[in-house]
Structure 1
């Protein structure tokens, strides 16, 4: 069992390396070559960010969520785009559906619904996020509280990682960032893997499927586990008929893979990270309950 968990953690982490390296390479290029132009481009395309993120997240790789977390920490994408990717990420769902010979129509409906819910939720979150920031600034000005509001910047990642990227090439900088994040993800995945093995997927399944509405909350909690095991458990339970469509969607919408780990590792604001995770969980639960109440069958 110990060897299996170690091998699974190694394989899961190794699959992320190309995504992380390319992401950091692009970010370093934007930082060193384009400067303020990159921010202007992102501001112009910000309204379409959640839609693009929802489509990108549908590809069966949690590497996209890991890349998105780094891009958000560097100020390249908005909170809504980040959460749109998190919500639409399918992780291990698609490979399991294909291996179990699930009808193509069913697969497309589920993927399409995840993309739509991710894009809609991400757009709404962007509006609320900007409105909340504006109200906070107005309140501080009214109370004569002078606080410097620092916008996210790609250089912030270098400061938090203490990698001294400014002294080397963009390839070296991207390699250092990737190495640090890869080691972190492997160690956490190892711990989570052992916990899942000790608890057992059968017990997790029974824990989720006791009550329909309560099951939505529980499935979403399992989905928050930053490991591919959560999406595997939820998908298998849905295929065996133990979970309903709402419970399945709640768990898979919240299941952002290791994206949550990368966010917590790269983004400096602890309260902000907890807020984003809370919004992710609440969004998944909301859509899950709505699907259950409407009796939607996928």
Structure 2
């Protein structure tokens, strides 16, 4: 019974933590939809070139909520794919609190955050450049139009009605969006916590103690689990000197908290969602492997 209570409490706490981020994001998106649709289109086009830079910097803050917010913004095409990936790669979620609790040197912690941010920024710029070049070669526009209204249609919140264009209406619609995502995340987080408990964190830890290449792949796969728990496991193994810096980075770079979970919920293009997950995994694991090959230490 105690185990069941702990699983439920962890799921509730993990889900509740993202509520402020989700609500503020949806509220901002409602405002953009009703008040500044044309202006937003222009801003997206003008900020496309440095979006990954902002995303990489914002992502280092220790909260899963930023990756969830980024997923919603990308689904509405308010940010580019490169910016989304930059945020996913730099997201730190539970790593910072854990390092602080273990009295980890602040200087080294800052270097780890900076490394994650730099990798995210570089990858984001490369992705946006590649996407732009691809569309240009095919004679298509590089930017997808902002389509926040599609999220409203998907959630059936009727937030595009004229009577909901008031501040009260926008707040209500944002609440509906937030509630839907909260319940979705709560259920999946509960299931994931049950699975992790049944498998055991010790068994997950043992999977990372194989040969170097396999450990990077396994760290990346564990990082894909849409939960904050994987970052705790991977960071703990690094603190216990059981894995290398590169292996830890593979898992933490891929680990985007609940970002991918929310992306699959709010973005209707499932093929794009899978491509984002694959791209995130490849960039994260290859970057971690490169760190070890180059012998980079912090």
TM-score tier (shorter): over 0.9
Contact 2:244/2:292 (<8 A) preserved: yes
Ranges in structure 2 where 5+ consecutive residues have no aligned partner: none
Distance (Å, rounded) in 2 between the aligned partners of 1:249 and 1:136: 36
Distance (Å, rounded) in 1 between the aligned partners of 2:258 and 2:96: 17
Is residue 2:173 matched to residue 1:173? Answer: yes
Contact 2:41/2:146 (<8 A) preserved: no
Corresponding position of 2:115: 113
Distance (Å, rounded) in 2 between the aligned partners of 1:37 and 1:12: 35
Corresponding position of 1:8: 10
CA positional deviation for 1:247: 0.5
Distance (Å, rounded) in 1 between the aligned partners of 2:116 and 2:254: 11
Output the TM-score relative to the length of structure 2: 0.94
Trace 1:21-36 onto structure 2 (pairs within 5 A): 21-36=23-38
Contact 2:41/2:145 (<8 A) preserved: no
Inter-CA distance 137–217: structure 2 relative to 1 (3 Å threshold): farther
Contact 1:87/1:114 (<8 A) preserved: yes
Corresponding position of 2:262: 262
Ranges in structure 1 where 5+ consecutive residues have no aligned partner: 139-148
CA positional deviation for 1:129: 2.0
Corresponding position of 1:280: 280
Structure 2 residue corresponding to 1:50, chosen from 49, 52, 58: 52
Q: Which moved more, 1:86-95 or 1:206-215?
A: 206-215
Runs of 4+ aligned structure 1 residues displaced above 6 Å come to none
Output the TM-score relative to the length of structure 1: 0.94
CA positional deviation for 1:200: 0.7
Structure 2 residue corresponding to 1:133, chosen from 132, 135, 138: 135
Corresponding position of 1:145: none
Distance (Å, rounded) in 1 between the aligned partners of 2:108 and 2:210: 25
